[in-house]
Structure 1
């Protein structure tokens, strides 16, 4: 396979193929961009961010062509075991990781929804990507060669990379058209890549937990909602005190690759904040779970969020965050904090929440 791909691209006209060093650094740059854009895409869910998702996919398809140019140049090292050196093994492992990233990403976009244990293909795609970045850095140290001036023919370089990126965009749009034309399983994906989960209520969408968050069911008799921080009158509310009379339809888009539109009912966060009386310096609202997990929203966004007690006309199940779950439209699912027991009004953000999300739930 490597020999065939390499021979085909090696036969491409010279003006189409960027210089070798430029190809190597372009691959590295795209892998870094894909890692950063992929991680950022996990934190945003509003339609305004669609260009980021498009750029991520177009860059991934462009990477396929650049990888082909790379294989065309080094195929003799991979197919001739007599030329293998220790760094060749690293190169092969890195290549397998790249292939894994591309194969799982493309398969997911076309709607293939197979699972490896509890992992969706999208989760496996992310896993390959996280492994690939350090492998690329390691690989780079074994064959570090900076581009030289002669590698850059300004007009030709601009033309080459314009063709590559436009080709990636055309291929992506072609895939989108094919999905819709064939009405395949990928036809109803969101712009985030997530696939729909239909129905209403607790049983209609999956139960997911972030890292180690897996608490025992919350005993309502022992539970209270605490509102504190930059407020005039801290509150302690028992479950029976909650006036869950606000309903809102909101879309939950989970980073594990699915989305659902549900009717949620609960308390408007703005009403809770008004009852406590927010200090003039209060700028952020932090929602804290019984597991220690937490996430913060700017106060204006938080006011319009919901602390849900019900979904689809049913009281929230434990797996979906009972007794209270944050509903934050436009945010990804991991930011919809489950099992909320505390609301903190803060004068500044909480950057440590990124660390806490990785250690919450561990005793």
Structure 2
């Protein structure tokens, strides 16, 4: 296969893998195709990367002897790419790391790093394949064959790998109360809230803003929902707490109110469309147990179909908006700093 086609295939493959990986962080139940594309492209990249390394092996050896800086970047890129692919494949087959970080999380970090280095590496080297090359039937068949082989290998690995959701997450702690993993999106780690003095404010686009003490609210709504964390685990539980729909009815959203934002004591916040928010829950209990501090006591959002980082913990305010507050994308990165 022509070297320029291999280079473009690597760039395109890494770009698609990065895009689908990032999009998967906020994927909804109807977006599972993102994970299929991500996995298929990842396995296909193994073939293209192997072909690339075989072609440049002599050049790399010569560059190492000459202590070439450009070759050093090439070696760094190779290490990052191999590590990103290896951690993804290892996760599929059930491997795990000790400590707080999962292989899936490490895989994501390595994927981003690989993309950054690859773009810089190819900036002065990438050339468009000639028209003759693109029209060459053998080149086309070779490329299609490589992609087909990658897709078949992905299906085989998916069938032989450990039990996972389409998101890649493995089950941990379902129906075990507070025994499921405690995580934070970036650095949220507030001091425990005093449940005796805690209150919930409802503000923004409502007929009358109100603040409720715990004694003012009925925590008897129940919902079974699955929490799928982007770090690679999922857990299904029976949640009990306050119906968001009933809460909103008490404050009467004004005409044009379209988004409901759930705000943490840390400043962390996330929004749901009004219709979706009505079906969500502000939980105080999980499987009959009061929420632990690490899981958001006294109250956390339960948003079925959303990823774990969108289930806001330590909720102290619900704010309604006519338009979505996009600053929350910044807030979730810096709220705990």
TM-score (norm 2): 0.96
1:99 to 49, 68, 82: 82
Q: Structure 1 residue aligned with 2:3, among 8, 20, 23?
A: 20
Query: Does 2:281 match 1:306?
Result: yes
| Residues 290-299 or 68-77, more deviating | 68-77
Aligned residues: 336
Match of 2:104 in 1: 122
Mark the runs of 5 or more structure 1 residues left unpaired by the alignment. 1-16, 180-185
Match of 1:324 among 270, 278, 299: 299
Say if 1:129 and 1:200 are closer, same or farther in 2 by CA, change over 3 A: same
CA distance in 2 between partners of 1:322 and 1:151 (Å): 62
Distance 1:220 1:131 in 2: 43
Match in the other structure for 1:349: 324
Residue aligning to 1:276: 251
Q: Aligned-pair distance for 1:170?
A: 1.2
Partner SS, residue 119 of structure 1: coil
Is the Cα–Cα contact under 8 Å of residues 45 and 192 in structure 1 kept in the other structure?
no
Helix, strand or coil at the partner of 1:248: strand
1:178 is matched with: 160
8 A contact 1:78–1:84 mirrored in 2: no
Whether the aligned pair in 1 keeps the contact of 2:178 and 2:286 (CA below 8 Å) is: no
> Post-superposition shift, 1:155?
4.6
Q: Give the whole-Å Cα distance in 1 for the aligned partners of 2:136 and 2:226.
A: 46
Aligned residue number for residue 266 of structure 1? 241
Aligned partners of 2:330, 2:242: CA distance in 1, in Å?
28
Task: Give the conservation status (yes or no) of the 8 Å contact 1:309–1:315.
Answer: yes
Superimposed CA distance per residue, residues 42-97 of structure 1 (whole angstroms, 9 cap, x where no aligned partner): 11242x22211010000001101111111121010123333552100000000000
1:41 corresponds to which residue?
Answer: 24
Asked if structure 1 preserves the Cα contact closer than 8 Å seen for 2:178 and 2:295, the reply is no
Conserved in 1, the CA contact under 8 Å of 2:284 and 2:297?
yes
Three-state SS of the structure 2 residue aligned to 1:220 is coil
In structure 2, relative to structure 1, the CA distance for the partners of 1:230 and 1:106 (3 Å cut) is same
- Sort the Cα spacing of 1:225 and 1:201 in 2 relative to 1 into closer, same or farther, 3 A: farther
In the TM superposition, residue 240 of structure 1 has moved relative to its aligned partner by 2.0
Partner of 2:313 in structure 1? 338
Which residue among 102, 108, 116 is the counterpart of 1:134? 116
Mapped pair 1:256 → 2:231: yes
Does the CA contact (< 8 Å) of 2:7 and 2:126 recur in 1?
no
C-alpha RMSD of matched pairs (Å):
1.5
Q: Deviations over 1:9-61 (max 9, x none)?
A: xxxxxxxx2x1111101101111111111011011242x22211010000001
